[in-house]
Structures are given as C-alpha cells and as structure tokens.
Amino acid sequence: MTDIVPQPAPVIPVRRPSAEQSATRLKSRYAVERRFKALGLGSLMLTGLFLLLLLANITLNAIPAFSEHAAVMDVTLDPAVIDPDGKKDPAILAAADYASLTRAALMTAIPGVEGRAAKKQLASVMSSGAADDLRAKVLADPSLIGKTIKFPMLLSDDADLYFKGEGVKASSRPGTGTITASDSKGQITLTSADNAFAALTDTVSKFDLEKDDGGLVLKSSMPSHLVALNGGLVKLSKISPSSATGEVLTPLTSAGPAVGSAWQFVTYGAPEGNRQVNDQAATFLEKLKASGVVQKNFNWRFFTSGDSREPELAGIRGALVGTFLTLLVTLSLCVPIGVLAAIYLEEFAPKNWLTHIIEVNINNLAAVPSIVFGLLGLAVFLNYFGLPRSAPLVGGLVLALLVLPTIIIAARAAIKSVPPSIREAAIGLGASKQQAVFHHVLPLAMPGIMTGTIIGMAHALGETAPLLMIGMIAFIVDVPKGLTDAATVLPVQIFLWSDLPEAAFQQRTAAAIVVLLAFLLLMNGAAIWLRNKFERRW
Amino acid sequence: MTVAYFAVLAALTFAAYAVAVRRSSAIAVAGPVRLHSLPAYHGLLAASVVLVPMLLIYLIGSQLVTTLATSNALSQFPADVQSDVMKSGSALRDVRNLAAGQHSGDASPVLTSAAATYSAWLERGTYAIYGAGILAAFLGLAMSLASIKPSFRARTHFESVVNIVLMACAGVAILTTIGIVASVFTETMRFFFDPAIKGRPGVLEFLFGTEWNPQQAMRADQGDIKSAYGFIPLLTGTLLITFIAICVAGPLGLLSAIYLAEYATPKMRKYAKPVLEILAGIPTVVLGFFAALTVAPLVRGAGASIGLDVASESALAAGLVMGMMIIPFISSLSDDVINAVPQSLRDGAFALGATKSETIKQVVLPAALPGIVSAFMLAISRAIGETMIVVMAAGLAANLTINPLDAVTTITVQIKTILVGDQEFDSAKTLAAFALGFVLFFVTLILNFIAQRFVRKYREQYD
C-alpha cells in the first residue's frame, strides 16, 4: 500500500481581461447578436415580400380581365337576312348570317368608311361573339325580327384593351394659323402660308428623322401625329413647317382652308409599331367613345363560357366543371380508402415486417414527384386498362393515388391523438375492438381527418403535371357532361393560356389564377376553421 | 350493362340486409335464447356475402369476357396481322369501333365477321356474368339465411370481412408503388433492351452521353435525322436549377426557421406561419406563370443593364422561383427540428454566459444538424421532381452548361415535352420519357430514404 501523495493542483495561468477589454468584447458579441437576429427577421420579411410581390403582380394582371367592353348600337333585325320565308323555323334562324347585321350596325354608327381595308379594319373592332350573342337573343325571342333593337355588341380583345387604357393615349392641342387641305379623302397635302406646322416640326425634331425634299418623314416607331380639320382626321406621314402630307383616316366634310382654332394637332401617344390597335382602328374607337355608346360591363362571360381561341370569348366554365368532376372522383376514392387504411395501420395491423414495409412505402410515396404519378396513369390506366384519354375519371384516379399518402398520414395522426382511455372504456363495456374503433374513436378523430382531407384536396386542386401526362391538355370548347368526356381542369387551363401570345390571354391567365387561389384559400380557410372549432386537446 | 348490373347488385344487397335483419330479430323476439350478435350484424354479414361475390364475378368476368372476345375476333384475321403487334392493335381498334357502330367508311368482310364474333362473344359473356352473379348472390343469401341461429357468431364473421377490407385499403399504397415500379421499369427495360425498338441507345450511351436530341424520323425518307439519348445535359440542367433554388431557399428558409423558433414572439409566429403556409400552398403552375411573365424579363433586364447577355428562358429565373417554392418547405421542416432540440441544452449554454445567437450557432444548430440536413435533402428531391415551374420558365434546348444565364432543360421538362400529345407506345422517344421517369423516381426515392434514416437516427439521440 502506498500513500497517495496529494498533488498540488496545476496552476493554469489565467489572463483575465481588463474591465475595458471585456466591455469591448461584450459590445461586439452583442452586435453579432443583433446582426444575427436582424438577418433572421430579414429573411422572414423577404419571404413575405416574395409572396406579396407574387400575389400583387397576379392580381394587378388579372383585374382588366374581369371587365369587358361592348358598344351599344341600334341593330336592325332584317327579316330578309334572318328569316327569308317568314316561318320562324329555329333551324333557319340559327343558321342566318348575323355577322352581316352586326357589321351593318357598325357601319351605320361610323359612317363614311370607304375602301376594303378600312372596312375590314372597322369590322375587326368587333368580336365575332357579338353575332353569336345576337343569334342567341333572336332565338330566345323571335318576335324581335323586323324591329330595330339597342344591342350591346362585344368588342374585340384589342379594342377592349384599348379602352382599358393599355393602348393609345390620345391628346390634342389647338393649331394656330391657317391650313388648307388639297382634298377630302385619300392621300392629301395640307399647306400653310404662315408656317403653321413649325410647332410640330420642333416637337418631332428630337427623333432622328430622314429628310425627303424639305419634309421630315415620320416613323411608326414614334408617337403618331394627326391633324383634325373640317370634321375629319388626317394622319401625317411627312411634315415641313409650311406643308404636310398624310392619309385621311376620317373623311373631311370639304377640302379647303381651316383657320386658327378650327383645327387641332392630335397625338396618339404610344408608337403605332408597339401597339395592337393601329391609328385607323384607333380613330374608329375614339369615335365610338365620343358618341357615348361604349359600355364597360362585368365579364360574366369569363365564368359562363368554355375555352375559345378568341380571348374576349374565352372562359373558365369548362375548366371549372372539369375540376369539379375530377375532384369528385378523387374525393370519393381517396377518403374511404385513405381512412380505412389509416384505421388498419393505426389500430389493427400487427407489428410485423409487412406493416413496416407499408409504412415506409406510404412515407416514400408522399415524396414521389407528381409527374411520376402521371407516368403511372399513362402506362396503367390509359395503356393497360384502355380508359379514355383526357377524361376526369382518369384524372381523378391519378390524383387519388397522388393524395392518398397525405390523407393516410393525416388520418393516422388524427386517430393516434384520440387517447387510449376511450378505446379501453368502450372495450370495458363489452364492445368489440372494431366497435370501439368505428363507434368511438373514428367520430372523435373525424375533425382531424376532415382537415387532412381538405388539405389533400387543395393539393389535388393545384396539381398540373400528372394531368398533362394523361392528355387533359387538349383544347376543349365544350363543357364536359360526364366522367368520361374530354375535359380540362383549372390549373391546366392556366398552363394552356399562359402559353398564348395575346396580351388579353395573359390577363385571363392571371384572372384564372385568382379564381384558383380563391378556391384554395377557401379550402384552407375551411380546414383551419374546422381545426379550431372541433379539434380537441386531450 | 354495367349500370344495370350494379343496380341489381345494390338491390340484392339491400334485400339481403333487410331479410336477414327481419329473420334474426324474429328469432331474437320469439326464441328463448338471446342472439349472440345483434340483428344488424346478421344483416351486414348477409349483405357482404351477396356483395363481395357479385363484385368479384363482375371484375374477373368482364376481364375474361373481353379477353375471350378479343382473341376470338382476332383469330378471324390472317396470320400476319395476328403476329404483328401494331397491325393486330389497329385491327382490334377497328373491330371495337365497328361493334360500337362508330366505324367510318366501308368495312372489309373480314372486319365485319370479326366484329360480329366480337359482339357475339361480348353478348354471351354479359349473360354469363349476369347469370353467375345472380346465382352467386342467391346462393350467398340462402347460405347466410340458413345460418341465422342464436348461437351464430355473425359479428365475428362480419368483423373478419371488415378486417380484410381494411387490409386491402392499406394494400392500395403498396399496389401504387408496384404499379409505378412495374410500369416505369418495364418500359425502361424495353427502351434499353427490346430489339423491336429502333434507335434505342445502350445503357452507358444513355448514362454518359452528352447530347440529348430525342427527335424521331417521322417518315422513312427523313431517316437521316439522328436521335441521341445522352442523359448528361439533362442531369446538369436539373442540378443547376436545383442548385440555384437551394442557394436561394437554403439560407432564407433556415434563417426564417431560426428566427421563428428562437426569437419570434408567439404573436409574430401566429402571423408569420400562415404566410409560409400560403406560400407552400400556391400551385406550382402559378409560380411558373410568375417566373415566365415577371421574373424572367426582370432577370433579363437586370442582366442587360450590366452588360450580360441573359437567355430569355434562363436557368436563373427558373431557379429563383423554384427557390421561392422551397423556402416554406425548408423552413417548416427546420422549424420542427429546432423546436425538438431540448430546452436543457439551451439553458446550459445560457448558464455558461453565451448569448442567444452563440447558443443557436454553437449548440442548437449542431444538435439539429441531422434534421436540417434531411430537410435539405427532401427539399432537393422536391426541386428535382418539380415540373411546372421549369416547364414554363426553363427552356427545351439541352445545353450542356453550368452558366446560370443560359437556357437549360431538365428531366421533368423533357418527360412532359415527349409525352404531351399523341404518342406511339413503341417508339424509342416515348420510352425515353419512361427511362427518365425511372431515373427521377429512383433518385428521389434514395434521397427520401436517406433523409428519413437521418431523421430517425436523430430522434433516437434526444428522446
């Protein structure tokens, strides 16, 4: 036995910082702390900003699509065109050439349009849907034939955008001096003895313009300059201080001089090359606007019609019905299967390797990319079982498989949260295991299951990629009537429209997105409400 | 036919229930002994004994009848049509159309007789199904009525039926996986090894080829168009966009989660959480629209203003928006993990004089690291599999580049591009999409598997 000699404790030299040093260090540590906290808050704010930017951007884009412009005009329902033999046979009434009537009404409203090109331009201001609307009105009430009615005629998408302020900013200022027109229509020359155009040449001189024997040649890449005189409108193509040449867009009442305030310079703000509505069409639209017939309505058509190649006629009804049918299939499949599967796994499954595989499998399925489910649908449902393409039935099946793991996981969590005492009490009173589960546990777990279901359905509602695989991407005008009709769904409609070049379709895409988000918000709101109202903490 | 059969099925099921309930309640009231099971259980058992065989007969029978009708109709055609998959397929389509009265144009005599055989077999089969179904139903009904006795354990029997149904429902998840693996895997195998497929690549050629051009010759005289199935450009494109997305979402999501878990007041959490949930709930097609319409021009404009040439469908724009999509994913998973770190660890650090940020950086984050890593892996797998954002905002050109300003394409974009529209199922091009799907499924599966392993391991440490 040896004595343990107590060793002296090793002396560690401690370098205590001075009070000043530790104060500085503390200061810098606190600065780091503040920076770190600000960084966290900053990233949270940035995320919020992203969301805000996204929602604001889409809402702003969508707003114009919720209104449409129509011109209320007198339309003469000429019996010779609509019902030549006077029998009011619906088949003949439906086949009549209503487009000629609406065109005639437009020509009456804007008189004096001559030349094929100008007439075609005028007709293009109106949508082809105006004739369809007129047909529907006549078919609904054949007694109107022969009368002249006031009828709101839908304008084309370009005209519509023009009135929504996307097009031209027209402005005018009075002229000074005297100008004389060489003719009342066609290509004319305006001459001025007192250099009345000098004001305009100064304005346009900042553009780098070519000269052509003393005159500046105006380009389509700059704002358009026009002159209004003698009740008509002339688009200038070449100007010099003392003269200007141009094309008459609206015929003058007479050739000859106009003095002082009797004539004006008119400017169409945006360059003609950059807009859908050219100067000729713009004069028609300005005229319609001046005569007070243009009317802005809420765009009900967007909700009541199917898809169309014409943006002003396209609506989301078909997509909404398709979505409804698809989700109906999804809901009626994945809720029973999901809930029963959850009950089995949570309450009855023996703890063995098979159950373990099923559990791992469900967790993995929840993370499989959605497009892979589309491949499954294509190979199994379409190719192997020969189900119809583009049908809500197949879409619903694929989406059901897609959201099944979500619902099983949510339902299991809800069942698990019911305390064992409930089961034990039921079993203690003589209930069988199944009676305890179906009569007592399931009702108590229901709010949680419903919440999970709604969230799963919201997920299904926004899903696009797998539906592209099974052909729900076709251009379909008709509203689907059954589960096996060709249909599309709202997200796919959004995808289809977003690919189209017309500005009006971009706005409609945004509007469809607003509708989709509104539905999602509604569903998530319902889920939160359910959770707060019914979910019990044990 | 289907509707009528199911109407009969429903009627018989309800009848069986009603009769069995009446019969058993009569015994219960009249007899001296009490029933073992409630009358309702006798009814339910009788109903299920009618319902299940009828359903099975319909499901199996209709498959059998179609197969029989098809093979008999096909046997009318000449041998060369029967042996060629393509020809027999189109012949069958004609037969079906003619039998359904939708055939356009004149039908050849062979076709007419084949269609007649087809409809005859279908008709015969329908009668057989009806007969067998109704017979089985009545047999089942008779059996269950005969067994109604006070001592009969109807509830036990019915509960075992329910148990089988429950098991079958849980099995759907397995079936889905089997379906995915079988369909994607068999098509992939055909893509690589089926000698009937023209222009198929070798496995190595696919995995390491650097050129992707799945163009198919439409006609024989266009045969000089060379298709190439090199996977590498798609892989780099996918990884590039995923990398950009993680660069955006990683720091933002993680820092947001840290702030929410450690600094935010309960009130702040109450408002910030829904914001993240809304962002998580926005459909990807909406984000794709935003990327294509707003972010891509912005990126392009910003690039132009500092003299960079940015492609109009740049990887950067798609990656940025994909990052937005992933932020809530990373932040909510990380938030859970950080909250699961025991408070005692923090208290220990505070007791040693650490500031809050020092505690987080040196104690909480290292403890939560496995969970955070798994969150990132799940986010990566989500980004790789994401389709709509890249379809709408990334390009189609398979450029082999790591320049984020160039247009790249991804696996999902190519799957979508190849498979949208009518496709023959026997061309190498279509099968290539399945091969890509297989790769996608496999990669995401592995990422998820590893991530789940990580989480489990981590949980064990602190529970």
Output the tens digit of pLDDT for each of chain A's 538 residues.
566 777 777 777 777 788 888 899 889 999 999 999 999 999 999 999 999 999 999 999 888 888 888 888 888 887 777 777 777 777 777 777 888 888 888 887 777 777 777 777 777 888 888 888 888 888 888 787 878 888 888 888 888 888 877 656 677 777 777 777 777 777 778 777 777 777 777 777 777 677 766 677 777 777 777 777 777 777 777 777 777 787 777 777 777 777 766 777 777 777 776 677 777 777 777 777 777 778 888 888 888 888 888 888 888 888 999 999 999 999 999 999 999 999 999 988 888 888 888 888 888 888 889 999 999 988 888 888 878 888 899 999 999 999 999 999 999 999 998 999 999 999 999 888 999 999 999 999 988 898 889 989 999 999 998 998 888 887 878 888 888 788 889 999 999 898 888 888 888 999 999 999 999 989 988 888 888 887 776 6
Instruction: State whether B441 and A50 contact (CB < 8 Å).
Output: no
CA distance B219 to chain A (A): 24
Per-domain residue ranges of chain B? 2-152, 228-462
Q: Which residues from B are below 8 Å from A333, CB to CB? A: none
Q: How many helices (H) does chain A have, and how many strands (E)?
A: 20, 13
Quick one: pLDDT at residue A373? Answer: 92
Q: Which residue has the higher pLDDT, B21 or B463?
A: B21
Q: Which residues from B are below 8 Å from A42, CB to CB? A: 255
Q: Which residues from B are below 8 Å from A473, CB to CB? A: 420
Distance, CA of A460 to CA of A330 (rounded, Å): 8
Strand segments, DSSP code E, in A146-194 are: 148-154, 170-174, 178-181, 187-191
Q: Which residues from A are below 8 Å from B177, CB to CB? A: 361, 364-365
Mean pLDDT of B264-282: 87
Distance, CA of A336 to CA of A347 (rounded, Å): 16
Quick one: pLDDT at residue A46? Answer: 92
- Which of B177, B289, B392 has the CB atom closest to A365's CB atom? B177
What secondary structure does DSSP assign to B371-430, as a single string?
HHHHHHHHHHHHHHH--HHHHHHS-S-------TTS----HHHHHHHHHSS---TTSHHH
Q: Answer yes or no: are the C-beta atoms of B407 and B397 closer than 8 Å.
A: yes
Other beta carbons within 10 angstroms of residue A486's beta carbon come to 18
Backbone φ, ψ for residue A256 (5° rounding): 135, -175
Backbone φ, ψ for residue A52 (5° rounding): -60, -45
Instruction: State whether B256 and A464 contact (CB < 8 Å).
Output: no
Quick one: pLDDT at residue B217? Answer: 45
Q: Which residues from A are below 8 Å from B294, CB to CB? A: 57
Three-point CA angle B94, B95, B99, nearest 5°: 115
Other beta carbons within 10 angstroms of residue A261's beta carbon come to 9
Quick one: pLDDT at residue B228? Answer: 78
Distance, CA of A265 to CA of A171 (rounded, Å): 8
Quick one: pLDDT at residue A407? Answer: 93
Quick one: pLDDT at residue A273? Answer: 66
For residue A241, give both structure tokens: 């201080």
- The pLDDT tens digits for A460-482 are 999 998 998 888 887 878 888 88
3-state secondary structure of B17: helix
Give the distance, in angstroms, between the CA of residue A125 and the centroid of all CA atoms in the same chain: 23
CA distance B18 to chain A (A): 21
* 3-state helix, strand and coil shares in percent for chain B, rounded to the nearest 5: 75, 0, 20
Q: In what side-by-side order are the strands of the sheet with A148-154?
A: A148-154, A67-76, A294-298
Distance, CA of B217 to CA of B212 (rounded, Å): 15
Shortest CA distance from A50: residue in chain B: B324
Quick one: pLDDT at residue B331? Answer: 92
Q: Answer yes or no: are the C-beta atoms of B231 and B439 closer than 8 Å.
A: yes
> B228-462 maps to which CATH number?
1.10.3720.10
Quick one: pLDDT at residue B22? Answer: 86
Instruction: State whether A47 and B289 contact (CB < 8 Å).
Output: no
CA distance B248 to chain A (A): 10
Residue A79: CA atoms inside 13 Å, Cβ hemisphere, count?
Answer: 12
Total CB pairs under 8 A between chain A and B: 244
Shortest CA distance from A470: residue in chain B: B420
Distance, CA of B410 to CA of B427 (rounded, Å): 21
- Which of A33, A340, A510 has the CB atom closest to B356's CB atom? A33
CA distance B340 to chain A (A): 18
Instruction: State whether B420 and A29 contact (CB < 8 Å).
Output: no
For residue B68, give both structure tokens: 């029989």
What sign has the CA pseudo-torsion B144, B147, B149, B152?
negative
Report ipTM for this prediction.
0.86
Quick one: pLDDT at residue A115? Answer: 73
* Per-residue pLDDT at B213 exceeds 90: no
Q: Which residues from A are below 8 Å from B365, CB to CB? A: none
Quick one: pLDDT at residue A331? Answer: 93
Domain A313-534 top-level CATH class: mainly alpha
For residue B418, give both structure tokens: 């190849």
CA distance B167 to chain A (A): 6
B334 touches chain A (CB under 8 A): no
Per-domain residue ranges of chain A? 65-163, 170-274, 313-534
Instruction: State whether A341 and B294 contact (CB < 8 Å).
Output: no
- Which of A365, A372, A432 has the CB atom closest to B437's CB atom? A372
B331 touches chain A (CB under 8 A): yes
CA distance B26 to chain A (A): 23
